[in-house]
């Protein structure tokens, strides 16, 4: 019972755990102006060749019709199609962590561009928590401790540990934000928290170093009660807990694309340098497009599909998993197509109660009734079986924007090298 309580606590089930600035210069195409001080601004490479796709327009929270900013590379696809973030607000270029937090938490639409590293580590002091050595390895020999944040440690012997406060909880991003990185922009020691907001674009940043020794030490990106969010070309690594944590309130019209979930860690709950914590999807009515992402060096929860989630994985690659990829409980369903599984010994845990469609060649034509096209088959190399053809959940795709799918063979080499903050 204690072991079960610890697992449930780490999953986030508390109830069950107990039986800034302005653009100062005009730059040439493909460059953005990065402000340094009142005397100096620099044109740096930041945007890609403009697409020929017609600009998407929509109505923001403030009620004005706008289009997405030219600093954004490409356009949102899948369920998040049409998201514009901060729209055509004048870009701002914060140079300090205080300025960045001010822009992200402002009540006005913002287009925010950051360059290089932003070091949050130590900026909010430290906090002391009770923790328990829940796993067979401790942080001293490559494991993690479990913070007793939900009382899930029960009657176990607890120790005081000191964590970095900034990493423990992310910046509370407000409505109507575009957040773009250039020049390997990195949030060191701080994640992002999207709760009760909509119309957000996050692109080309890395998030790392969130108290990796401690479960509950920090999530890279948290979403709960959100809608219209596009997360693209984001790299997440060295975390205390989830790369993406979807809370129990519904998250509608979400796309995660071209992102790198890097599971290599010095502190592993499975004691093998593979991160167990990946994507926790427990929302009520979540709609998630998972497109061209690279999920690497995990040992579980990639994703954990629970709650009431519609999950559409397209042209994504799972590689070098030491345990299992998919777990969870009841859910709307998951459709995996045009994906690649390489060295994933167990693709889905046995006894999973949800519905899956794994796009086997004999059944791909059944997708046409729901997606308007046939599905693409998956590729498996040195991996376990993944054979499901449930279609009972696929009516949930009605009315949603469906991303096009390429063949798995055409993306298996390009996705691992292009995913993450590579723009």
Catalytic-role residue among 193, 241, 301, 373: 301
Q: How far apart are CA 43 and CA 29, in angstroms?
A: 10
> Are residues 75 and 51 in contact, defined by beta-carbon separation less than 8 angstroms?
yes
What region, left, alpha or beta, does residue 123 occupy, with left being phi > 0 and alpha being psi -120 to 50 degrees? alpha
Q: How far apart are CA 303 and CA 61, in angstroms?
A: 31
Q: Which residue in the block uniquely carries the two structure tokens 């289009």?
A: 67
Task: Using alpha carbons, select from 228, 237, 357 the residue that is nearest to residue 305.
Answer: 357
Q: How far apart are CA 25 and CA 113, in angstroms?
A: 14
Would residue 24 show up in a list of annotated catalytic residues for this protein? no
Q: Output the six-digit token pair for 45.
A: 């490479």
Using alpha carbons only, give the angle 118, 108, 193 rounded to the nearest 5 degrees.
50
Q: Catalytic residue numbers?
A: 301
């Amino acid at each position: 019972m204690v072991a079960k309580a610890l697992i449930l606590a780490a999953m986030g089930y508390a109830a069950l755990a107990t039986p800034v600035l302005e653009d100062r210069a005009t730059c040439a195409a493909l460059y953005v102006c990065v402000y340094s001080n009142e005397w100096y601004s620099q044109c740096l490479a930041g945007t890609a060749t403009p697409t020929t796709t017609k600009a998407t327009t929509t109505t923001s929270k403030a009620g004005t019709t706008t289009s997405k900013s030219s600093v954004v590379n490409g356009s949102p696809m899948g369920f998040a199609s049409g998201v514009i973030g901060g729209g055509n607000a004048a870009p701002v270029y914060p140079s300090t962590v205080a300025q960045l937090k001010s822009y992200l938490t402002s009540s006005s639409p913002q287009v925010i561009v950051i360059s290089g590293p932003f070091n949050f580590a130590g900026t909010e002091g430290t906090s002391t928590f009770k923790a328990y050595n829940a796993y067979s390895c401790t942080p001293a020999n490559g494991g993690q401790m479990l913070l007793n944040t939900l009382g899930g440690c029960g009657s176990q012997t607890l120790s005081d540990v000191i964590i970095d406060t900034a990493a423990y909880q992310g910046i509370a991003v407000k409505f109507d934000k575009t957040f773009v990185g250039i020049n390997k922009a990195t949030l060191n020691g701080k994640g992002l928290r999207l709760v009760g907001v909509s119309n957000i674009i996050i692109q080309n940043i890395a998030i790392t170093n969130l108290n990796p020794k401690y479960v509950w030490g920090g999530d890279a990106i948290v979403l709960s009660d959100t809608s219209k969010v596009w997360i693209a070309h984001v790299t997440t690594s060295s975390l205390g807990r989830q790369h993406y944590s979807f809370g129990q309130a519904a998250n509608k019209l979400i796309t995660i694309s071209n992102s790198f979930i890097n599971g290599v860690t010095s502190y592993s709950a499975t004691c093998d340098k593979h991160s167990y914590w990946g994507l926790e999807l427990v929302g009520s009515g979540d709609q998630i497009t998972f497109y061209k992402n690279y999920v690497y060096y995990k040992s579980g929860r990639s994703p954990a599909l629970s709650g009431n989630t519609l999950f559409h994985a397209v042209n994504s690659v799972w590689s070098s998993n030491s345990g299992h990829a998919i777990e969870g409980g009841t859910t709307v369903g998951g459709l995996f197509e045009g994906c690649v599984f390489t060295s994933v010994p167990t693709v889905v845990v046995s006894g999973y109660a949800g519905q899956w469609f794994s796009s086997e060649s004999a059944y791909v034509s059944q997708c046409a009734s729901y997606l308007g096209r046939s599905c693409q088959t998956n590729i498996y190399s040195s991996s376990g079986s993944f054979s499901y053809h449930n279609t009972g959940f696929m009516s949930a795709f009605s009315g949603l924007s469906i991303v096009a799918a390429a063949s798995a063979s055409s993306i298996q080499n390009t996705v691992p090298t292009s995913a993450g903050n590579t723009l």
